[in-house]
Amino acid sequence: MLACSSFVLPSITVVTWNVGTAMPPNDVTSLLHLNTGETNDVDMIAIGLQEVNSKINKRLKDALFTDQWSELFMDVLSPFHFILVSTVRMQGVILLVFAKYYHLPFLQDIQTDCTRTGLGGYWGNKGGVSVRLSIFGHMVCFLNCHLPAHLEKAEQRKEDFATILHMQQFEGPVANGILDHDLVFWFGDLNFRIESLDICFVKYAIDSNVLSQLWEKDQLNIAKSTWPVLRGFQEGPLNFPPTFKFDVGTNKYDSSAKKRKPAWTDRILWKIKPPSKGLGTGGHRPSQGVLSVSQLCYCSHMEYTVSDHKPVAAIFAVQFASKVDKPLVEIYVADEWSRPEQAVVRYKMAVGFHRSSWDWIGLYRVGFRHPKDYVSYVWARSDDGERCLEKQLCAQVMFSEEALPKGNGEYILGYYSNTSSSIAGVTEPFQISLPRSEEGSSSTDSSGSSSEEDDSTLVLLAPKSRSPSPGKMKRHRSRSPSLAKFQGLILRPSSRDRGTSRSPSPQSRCSLPRNIPTIHLPHEELGHHEVKSKELEQAAESPDSSSFYQTVQEKSGLWRVSADSSLTRADPRNLGLLPALRLEMIDQALGRRQESADQGYYPCRRMSTTSPPACGPSPKEGHSPQELDRHSCAMGR
């Protein structure tokens, strides 16, 4: 429903930082303005990074685990109720978009795209990544770019930016190109330099705080008045010193033999789409109402010295003339669940909502980091679901006692729409206070368990996404905030750690295919993990073994991942680039093969990751939302 009254989205923070392959600092609260009163009014935060370490060994690590920079920002922002809405990565260029959890139902049509411009479009060290979405019915695009370096490459920067604008295309009836959006934020290491003036004068102007004498020689300021592609882009005054190039670890400009001239390479600009008159091209409906943007802050942060660039942040107040004032799904729940039978959820879908049989309702602990960071879930399907939608009645589902976290805590329910790959409805926080069982209480209360004590095993996860090469791309169907491209490792769980997983509904998940290639290791090579052969065998043969994601302790260069990580709930059956691997001991492997031979068992043909399964349970029979992504991809959804 659209209301004609004016609505102000208090503020959007945009951050850009060329991190120069450095490790993340310990604290980024000042960069995100989290230690000021401004945070209370911030509704969204977009963070663009460039030159994140993308060497082969580091990219493999980031494929196995969420990269350290993304983890840092999620960890810092989640206590302030910011949720990762979307993320996209192209080699060293990363874009993350966060929003307050209660805005999630009003953020729809989320898509991402990438364009390589390095080496003529074959290399992603330069280029642009974008996240576009509908915010309260208005189309907004965040574009993070890393353009060519050096003073003499101004024309190349212009051509690359034009290429990015031309190549990036989105699906849907409106806003197919970047400039079709109602509001565009363009930021990144744009690499524009200061012309004509020598380094001595530039440093004198900086030291004397007469920065205005440098503005007219700034290449981007010149280009804004001469390049048609930049027409309409706005930028606040550059009242902060040039952000490049510094000696790492200091606030001193380049003292190397090259003595590069300081420049404002790191920039944040925005553009508002001009009001449409009547129907646009193709009969598209014009933007709903008038939109205005005011820049509240535009500054650099000199306190960060890990890179030769200083990060830059801007805060914007955005005013919409109209807004979507009701979520697509309204969820009703009791103020407290103190008994399992109270775990009843009623929900009502708006007229025109495109429901799917794969939609689900997740139970989230307050402070969750992204939409797949649920404690438990229940499928949002019922026999009379269509009737409820048609007659605008409330549907009802119930969480099983086994799926509920034990102990006390604050939680939120969110309706996840598989069609839009976003949360379509959330509740206010409510209380769950269920008694802990004396036996295995720590394993059942997965949401409150400490990641430092959890020894759960890693399983890898990769988003269903196309290669971020130039050209028209389909919607980036990321299954988690991880940016994994390396697929295929499974470490079988030990019974010692059973029950610590946060993966929902383990009792009815499909077992793993038995024809997975196996790596056999001598018993002494597994000894340092303190995993007994008997325990491993019991966990592997249990019907719910595929749902327990556990971490191998880092004792011989092996990785450790917290159970709170999104990767710990990954479905290994999604992995297709490399064959899945299974670690087990020689004696148990021989025993299992002998047993299979005695029973006349022959393994089934391994299913292709690009074809639907020949058989298997429906969502009612126990697929988890992670398995849903594999199924949807296979069915061509």
* Domain range summary for the chain, segments of one domain joined by +: 11-276+289-319, 329-381+393-434
Nearest to 364 by CA among 430, 417, 314: 430
Inter-CA distances, 151 with 146, 157, 207, 219, 302, Å? 15, 10, 22, 9, 24
pLDDT at 605 over 90: no
What CA–CA distance (Å, rounded) separates 79 from 368? 8
Could you tell me which residues come within 8 angstroms of residue 294 by beta carbon, excluding any fewer than 6 positions away?
316, 317, 319
Could you tell me which residues come within 8 angstroms of residue 221 by beta carbon, excluding any fewer than 6 positions away?
215
CA dihedral 495, 497, 503, 507 (to 10 degrees): 30
* Residue type, position 346, single letter: R
Q: Picking from 32-41, 223-232, 321-330, 362-371, which range would have the lowest pLDDT averaged per residue?
A: 32-41
Percentage of the chain beyond pLDDT 90 is 51
What CA–CA distance (Å, rounded) separates 530 from 634? 39
What CA–CA distance (Å, rounded) separates 585 from 588? 6
Phi-psi region of 225 (alpha: psi -120 to 50; beta: other; left: phi over 0): alpha
Structure confidence at residue 351 (pLDDT)? 86
3 state DSSP class of 127: strand
Do residues 365 and 605 make contact, with C-beta atoms less than 8 angstroms apart? no
pLDDT at 574 over 50: no
In the predicted model, what is the mean pLDDT of residues 198-226?
A: 95
* Residue type, position 537, single letter: E
In the predicted model, what is the mean pLDDT of residues 632-636?
A: 44
Please list, residue by residue across 123-133, b when 16 or more beta carbons sit within 10 angstroms of its beta carbon and e when fewer do. ebbbbbbbbbb
Sign of CA dihedral 294, 292, 157, 117: positive
Question: Between residues 577 and 373, which one has the greater pLDDT?
Answer: 373
pLDDT at 219 over 50: yes
What CA–CA distance (Å, rounded) separates 547 from 294? 48
Give the angle 200-203-209 at the CA atoms, nearest 5°.
140
- Other CB atoms closer than 10 Å to residue 324's CB: what's the count? 21
pLDDT band at 276 (very low <50, low <70, confident <90, very high): low
Which residues, listed in sequence order, are joined to residue 189 by a DSSP beta bridge? 146, 266
What CA–CA distance (Å, rounded) separates 594 from 596? 5
- pTM over the 0.95 mark: no
Question: Between residues 603 and 632, which one has the greater pLDDT?
Answer: 632
Q: Please list the alpha-helical segments (H only) found in 446-485.
A: none
- Other CB atoms closer than 10 Å to residue 276's CB: what's the count? 13
Q: What is the residue-averaged pLDDT of the chain?
A: 74
Backbone phi and psi for residue 105, each to the nearest 5 degrees, phi listed first: -65, -15
Question: Between residues 56 and 302, which one has the greater pLDDT?
Answer: 302
Could you tell me which residues come within 8 angstroms of residue 598 by beta carbon, excluding any fewer than 6 positions away?
none
- Other CB atoms closer than 10 Å to residue 296's CB: what's the count? 15
Structure confidence at residue 253 (pLDDT)? 97
Do residues 588 and 496 make contact, with C-beta atoms less than 8 angstroms apart? no
What fold does the segment set 329-381+393-434 form as a domain? Answer: Immunoglobulin-like (2.60.40)
What CA–CA distance (Å, rounded) separates 512 from 540? 10
pLDDT at 604 over 70: no
3 state DSSP class of 630: helix
- Read off the pLDDT of residues 495-546 as tens digits, 9 standing for 90 and up: 333 333 333 333 333 333 444 444 444 444 444 444 444 444 444 444 343 3
Structure confidence at residue 290 (pLDDT)? 75
Structure confidence at residue 384 (pLDDT)? 57
Percentage of the chain beyond pLDDT 70 is 61
- Helix (H) or strand (E) run with residue 537 in it: helix 533-541
Structure confidence at residue 383 (pLDDT)? 56
pLDDT at 553 over 60: no
Could you tell me which residues come within 8 angstroms of residue 376 by beta carbon, excluding any fewer than 6 positions away?
362, 363, 399, 403, 404, 405, 504, 505
Structure confidence at residue 56 (pLDDT)? 74
Do residues 248 and 306 make contact, with C-beta atoms less than 8 angstroms apart? yes
Structure confidence at residue 373 (pLDDT)? 94
Nearest to 69 by CA among 511, 483, 394: 483
Do residues 68 and 38 make contact, with C-beta atoms less than 8 angstroms apart? no
The reply to whether 329-381+393-434 shares the fold of 11-276+289-319 is: no
Structure confidence at residue 307 (pLDDT)? 98
Could you tell me which residues come within 8 angstroms of residue 90 by beta carbon, excluding any fewer than 6 positions away?
114, 115, 116, 124, 127, 129, 468
Structure confidence at residue 322 (pLDDT)? 67
Nearest to 124 by CA among 154, 95, 103: 95
Question: Between residues 553 and 57, which one has the greater pLDDT?
Answer: 57
pLDDT at 314 over 70: yes
Could you tell me which residues come within 8 angstroms of residue 426 by beta carbon, excluding any fewer than 6 positions away?
101, 102, 104, 105, 327, 331, 412, 413, 414, 415
Which residues, listed in sequence order, are joined to residue 125 by a DSSP beta bridge? none
Do residues 266 and 309 make contact, with C-beta atoms less than 8 angstroms apart? yes
Question: What's the CATH number of domain 11-276+289-319, 3.40.1190.20, 2.40.30.10, 3.40.50.2300, 3.60.10.10?
Answer: 3.60.10.10
Inter-CA distances, 224 with 31, 221, 235, Å? 28, 5, 10
Q: Picking from 18-22, 170-174, 390-394, which range would have the lowest pLDDT averaged per residue?
A: 390-394
Do residues 174 and 109 make contact, with C-beta atoms less than 8 angstroms apart? no
pLDDT at 387 over 80: no
Question: Between residues 500 and 149, which one has the greater pLDDT?
Answer: 149
- Read off the pLDDT of residues 238-261 as tens digits, 9 standing for 90 and up: 999 999 999 999 999 999 999 999
Inter-CA distances, 363 with 367, 377, 409, 503, Å? 12, 6, 12, 12
Structure confidence at residue 193 (pLDDT)? 98
